[in-house]
């Protein structure tokens, strides 16, 4: 009984929705046709109707129609039933006379009511203008912007001709055609070495419209949109873009039999290569009075900076967040110059890009997050942070400022000496070292040692050891220092020796993200630590590293295959886990332990291979 009631309720809601909706009777057709051409006029109705009547048309001839079709769809969202129906009536018309003509509204009967459609305005060109077969809105190109080439050509149109160095501009590649196209291939883009390119779309889902050039109608499709950033000033020439099309041409051969007419389509495919015209962009240099803290940003930007907390205990982590937002070349903005007290352990900034590529430029924000850990108690100040960029509208450099930030650091648990006499780390910071000579500090409480009567230090074994020991220490320090200087001269050797230390430093950041349960950031930091270690250890830039060449180089150094496989597995896990469903903390801790163990194993293997 309950199921029957629910079914009746759904049917009732559906019928109510159908009867309650407004009647819409609409006419659509091309806006541009040629004299003598055939074209379709389609009338659509969202309810059941009949007895459609077309108006009288002096400048058009009805060749066929109406051909009718019907479609419907039903959807239930949150218990609400929506049903859509669509009836269409298609007529084939022929344009008889050149000029701009109007087709008056048609009528149709829906129930007991007569409903009118909208009127249509059609521009009929002179015969032989080869109007396109698709319909869309009128384009905006003019004949001065393009050069016609036998019914098929392309243009690359810049959104601006005068820009500043680093300012974005949009290059739009358009296809103009009034011939049938089958496909396109073999696309040749210009080098554009003086520009940084960001592609918006590349030939996917081309939307066709119509434009009239030199009194001819063309199908016009935006093939590609590309955002470019000039990296030097002057008159920069953009060379032509070339595209090869497959064009369908009608063959002019006489049929010899009925079977030839049946099997021969009368068309052939012909390759046609077209290219755009070159053009020049005037790139103005930035003013010569560039501030020392100029970040390279060009556009309209703002900066916001904040600290996660201003009252902490010794060894507690603090995050300084600097967010640069706005529009312009955000992706290429350099890291701001931030100064930290020597009493803080500061780690490299974690960079997050929340940037969208739009036709008007890059928009969004770029975030720099610094992890800092205070090691001593006291009050410390992070100096004012400055961010300078070039404002293209104002035509001058602008500076945004945030801060300074005051951090109060309190002693953590166990920072003072207890009553039992146990010794803990002193809370003295580096600022107080200058007072050592002005007061009595660290009074010695241990008693003075006594020696038996008749024993003298002079001439004893300890006397000669005390003379020779400083000489030995001096020689040892000299040799070690000389070795260190020689190693520092060899940059690649220095990076090799620091590789393990830098990897451990990066893994500290991963440990902090693990503790904070930041999954994506954790896997990203582990991946950075592994790639950075391998770049330093193998003396290869990050841009040239890949899993394949890492495996090959490590095998040449006689590294165990198990260690190599573990390294690649950890990298794969990091890449997969960043986009996979949330991993548990146990899995993240196991991966962290494997990463530490793998770096140690690789370090030992590489040293042994040497």
- How confident is the model at residue 5, as a pLDDT? 54
- How confident is the model at residue 283, as a pLDDT? 92
Q: Among 410, 429, 464, give the residue marking a domain's end.
A: 410
pLDDT per position as a tens digit, 179-189? 888 887 778 88
pLDDT band at 21 (very low <50, low <70, confident <90, very high): low
Domain that holds residue 8: 2-125
Smallest CA-to-CA distance from 367 within 383, 357, 355, 356 is with: 355
- How confident is the model at residue 421, as a pLDDT? 38
pLDDT band at 336 (very low <50, low <70, confident <90, very high): confident
Q: Among 381, 410, 439, give the residue marking a domain's end.
A: 410
Same domain, 62 and 85: yes
User: Could you tell me what percent of the chain has a pLDDT over 90?
Assistant: 11
Domain membership of residue 449 (yes or no) is no
Same domain, 201 and 299: no
Domain membership of residue 144 (yes or no) is no
Smallest CA-to-CA distance from 101 within 119, 122, 118, 117 is with: 122
- How confident is the model at residue 324, as a pLDDT? 92
Distance, CA of 584 to CA of 472 (rounded, Å): 55
For residue 358 the two structure tokens come to 């739009």
Same domain, 275 and 298: no
Q: What is the CATH number of the domain that holds 385?
A: 2.60.40.1510
pLDDT band at 369 (very low <50, low <70, confident <90, very high): very high
Domain membership of residue 592 (yes or no) is yes
384 or 429, which is more confident: 384
Same domain, 85 and 8: yes
pLDDT band at 143 (very low <50, low <70, confident <90, very high): very low
Same domain, 278 and 160: yes
- How confident is the model at residue 557, as a pLDDT? 78
For residue 157 the two structure tokens come to 């149109």
Phi-psi label, residue 530: left if phi above 0, alpha if psi -120 to 50, beta otherwise: alpha
Same domain, 27 and 91: yes
Backbone φ and ψ of 444, nearest 5°: -75, 125
2 or 321, which is more confident: 321
Same domain, 268 and 311: no
Same domain, 197 and 75: no
Total domains present in the chain: 4
Domain membership of residue 542 (yes or no) is yes
CA angle 185, 189, 194 (to 5 degrees): 170
Domain membership of residue 138 (yes or no) is no
- How confident is the model at residue 575, as a pLDDT? 78
Domain membership of residue 435 (yes or no) is no
pLDDT per position as a tens digit, 525-567? 888 888 888 787 777 777 777 877 888 888 887 788 888 888 8
Domain membership of residue 420 (yes or no) is no
Mean pLDDT lowest among 48-52, 346-350, 432-436, 550-554: 432-436
For residue 117 the two structure tokens come to 């459609």
290 or 420, which is more confident: 290
CB-based burial label for 372 (10 Å; 0-12, 13-18, 19+)? buried
Same domain, 301 and 280: no
For residues 375-388, one letter each, b for 16 or more C-beta atoms within 10 angstroms of the residue's C-beta and e for the rest, the string is: ebbbebebeebbbb
Q: What is the CATH number of the domain that holds 185?
A: 2.60.40
Same domain, 273 and 298: no
Mean pLDDT lowest among 77-81, 306-310, 588-592: 77-81
Of these ranges, 445-459, 481-495, 553-567, the one predicted with the greatest mean pLDDT is 553-567
| 218, β-bridge pairs | 211
Q: What is the mean pLDDT of residues 419-447?
A: 47
Q: Is the pLDDT of residue 261 over 60?
A: no
Q: Is the pLDDT of residue 113 over 90?
A: no
Residue with tokens 């060899």, as numbered in its chain? 490
Distance, CA of 359 to CA of 171 (rounded, Å): 9
pLDDT band at 289 (very low <50, low <70, confident <90, very high): confident
Distance, CA of 63 to CA of 90 (rounded, Å): 11
Distance, CA of 151 to CA of 220 (rounded, Å): 11
CB 416, CB 314: distance < 8 Å = no
- How confident is the model at residue 502, as a pLDDT? 76
For residue 239 the two structure tokens come to 């060379």
Of these ranges, 140-144, 403-407, 412-416, 422-426, the one predicted with the greatest mean pLDDT is 403-407
DSSP 213-255: ETTEEEEEEEEEEEEEEE-S-EEEEEPPPEEEEEEEEE-----
Smallest CA-to-CA distance from 577 within 531, 490, 506, 514 is with: 514
237 or 56, which is more confident: 237
Mean pLDDT, the chain, integer = 77
Q: What is the mean pLDDT of residues 331-347?
A: 85
CB-based burial label for 65 (10 Å; 0-12, 13-18, 19+)? middle
Backbone φ and ψ of 27, nearest 5°: -110, 140
Within 13 Å, how many C-alpha atoms sit on residue 431's CB side? 10
What is the CA 489 to chain-centroid distance, rounded? Answer: 39
Domain membership of residue 97 (yes or no) is yes
Q: Which helix (H) or strand (E) holds 605?
A: helix 585-609
Q: What is the mean pLDDT of residues 239-257?
A: 75
Q: Among 353, 379, 410, give the residue marking a domain's end.
A: 410
Q: Is the pLDDT of residue 192 over 50?
A: yes
Q: Is the pLDDT of residue 231 over 80?
A: yes
What is the CA 28 to chain-centroid distance, rounded? Answer: 39
- How confident is the model at residue 279, as a pLDDT? 92
Distance, CA of 243 to CA of 175 (rounded, Å): 10
Distance, CA of 432 to CA of 398 (rounded, Å): 39
218 or 457, which is more confident: 218
- How confident is the model at residue 345, as a pLDDT? 85
- How confident is the model at residue 127, as a pLDDT? 62
Q: What is the CATH number of the domain that holds 91?
A: 2.60.40.10
Same domain, 271 and 328: no
Q: What is the CATH number of the domain that holds 541?
A: 1.20.120.330
- How confident is the model at residue 455, as a pLDDT? 62
Same domain, 326 and 400: yes
Phi-psi label, residue 471: left if phi above 0, alpha if psi -120 to 50, beta otherwise: alpha
Q: Is the pLDDT of residue 448 over 80?
A: no
For residue 129 the two structure tokens come to 């203008």
């Amino acid at each position: 009984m309950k199921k029957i009631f629910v079914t009746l309720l759904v049917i009732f809601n559906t019928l109510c929705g159908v009867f309650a909706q407004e009647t819409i009777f609409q006419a659509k057709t091309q806006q541009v046709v040629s004299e003598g051409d055939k074209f379709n006029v389609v009338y659509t109705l969202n309810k059941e109707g009949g007895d459609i009547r077309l108006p009288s048309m002096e400048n058009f001839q009805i060749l066929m129609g109406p051909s009718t079709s019907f479609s419907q769809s039903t959807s239930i969202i949150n218990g609400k039933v929506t049903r859509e129906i669509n009836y269409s009536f298609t007529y084939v018309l022929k344009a008889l006379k050149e000029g701009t003509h109007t087709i008056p509204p048609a009528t149709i009967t829906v129930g007991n009511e007569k409903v009118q459609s909208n009127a249509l305005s059609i521009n009929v060109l002179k015969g032989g203008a080869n109007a396109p077969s698709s319909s869309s809105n009128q384009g905006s190109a003019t004949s001065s912007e393009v050069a016609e080439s036998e019914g098929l050509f392309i243009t690359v149109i810049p959104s601006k001709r005068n820009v500043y160095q680093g300012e974005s501009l949009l290059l739009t590649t358009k296809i103009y055609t009034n011939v049938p196209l089958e496909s396109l291939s073999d696309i040749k883009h210009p080098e554009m070495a003086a520009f940084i390119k960001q592609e918006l779309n590349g030939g996917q889902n081309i939307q066709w419209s119509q434009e009239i050039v030199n009194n001819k109608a063309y199908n016009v499709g935006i093939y590609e949109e590309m955002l470019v950033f000039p990296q030097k000033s002057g008159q920069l020439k953009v060379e032509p873009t070339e595209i090869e099309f497959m064009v369908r041409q009608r063959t002019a051969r006489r049929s010899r039999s009925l079977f030839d007419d049946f099997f021969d389509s009368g068309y052939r495919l012909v390759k046609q290569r077209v290219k755009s015209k070159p053009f020049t962009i005037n790139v103005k240099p930035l003013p010569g009075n560039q501030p020392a803290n100029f970040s390279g940003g060009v556009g309209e930007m703002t900066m916001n900076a904040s600290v996660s907390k201003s009252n902490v205990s010794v060894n507690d982590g603090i995050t300084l967040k600097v967010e640069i937002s706005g529009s312009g070349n955000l992706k290429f903005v350099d890291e701001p110059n931030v100064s930290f007290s020597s009493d803080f352990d500061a780690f490299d900034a974690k960079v997050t890009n929340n940037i969208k590529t739009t036709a008007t430029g890059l928009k969004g924000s770029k975030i720099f997050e610094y992890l800092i850990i205070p090691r001593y108690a006291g009050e410390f100040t992070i100096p004012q942070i400055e961010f300078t960029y070039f404002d293209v509208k104002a035509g001058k450099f602008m500076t945004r400022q945030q801060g300074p930030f005051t951090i109060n650091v309190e002693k953590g648990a166990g920072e003072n000496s207890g009553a039992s006499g146990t010794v803990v780390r002193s809370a003295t910071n580096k600022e107080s070292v200058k007072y050592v000579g002005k007061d009595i500090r660290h009074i010695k409480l241990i008693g003075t040692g006594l020696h038996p009567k008749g024993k003298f230090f002079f001439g004893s074994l300890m006397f000669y050891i005390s003379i020779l020991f400083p000489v030995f220490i001096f020689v040892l320090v000299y040799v070690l220092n000389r070795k260190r200087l020689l190693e520092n001269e060899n940059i690649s050797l220095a990076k090799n020796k620091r590789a393990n230390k830098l990897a451990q430093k990066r893994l500290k950041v991963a440990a902090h993200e693990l503790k904070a349960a930041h999954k994506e950031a954790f896997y990203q930091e582990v991946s950075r630590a592994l790639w950075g270690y391998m770049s330093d250890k193998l003396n290869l830039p990050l841009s040239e590293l890949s899993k394949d060449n890492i495996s090959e180089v490590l095998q040449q150094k006689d590294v165990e295959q198990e260690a190599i496989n573990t390294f690649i597995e950890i990298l794969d896990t990091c890449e997969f886990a960043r986009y996979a469903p949330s991993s548990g903390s146990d899995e993240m801790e196991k991966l962290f332990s494997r990463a530490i163990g793998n770096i140690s194993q690789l370090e030992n293997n590489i040293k042994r291979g040497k």
